Amino acid sequence: MQNNIFLDTFKTLGTNAVPMNFGEVFTALETKTIDGQENPFVTIETSKFNEVQKYLSVTPPCLQPRF
C-alpha cells in the first residue's frame, strides 16, 4: 500500500520502505530484493511469506478506521 504516512513513519524508523505490487512480494523476498514486509499474520501464512522470510517482528498494528 503506498501511503505517505506509512512511508514517512518507516523512514523515521530508519528503514527504506518500498511500495510494491502485492503479487511481487513473495519473489522479492525470495530473491532478497526486499528483506521484509508488513502484513497481518493470516496474510503471511496464506501467502507463504514464512517460507522465504526468516524473521517475524510483532509490532502494534496501524490504526485503521472500521465502518
pLDDT confidence bin for 65, thresholds 50/70/90:
low
How many domains does one find in the chain? Answer: 1
- C-alpha–C-alpha distance, residues 48 and 66, integer Å: 27
Residue 58 in any domain: the answer is no
Residue 45 in any domain: the answer is yes
pLDDT in tens, 2-22: 789 888 988 998 989 999 999
- C-alpha–C-alpha distance, residues 53 and 63, integer Å: 25
Residue 30 in any domain: the answer is yes
Q: Which of 39, 32, 31 has the alpha carbon at shortest distance from 57?
A: 39
Residue 57 in any domain: the answer is no
Residue 62 in any domain: the answer is no
Residue 28 in any domain: the answer is yes
Q: Which of 23, 21, 49 has the alpha carbon at shortest distance from 35?
A: 49
Q: Which domain holds residue 32?
A: 4-51
Question: pTM surpassing 0.85?
Answer: no
Over residues 24-45, mean pLDDT: 93
Cα dist. 16→6, 12, 64 in Å?
A: 11, 9, 22
Residue 40 in any domain: the answer is yes
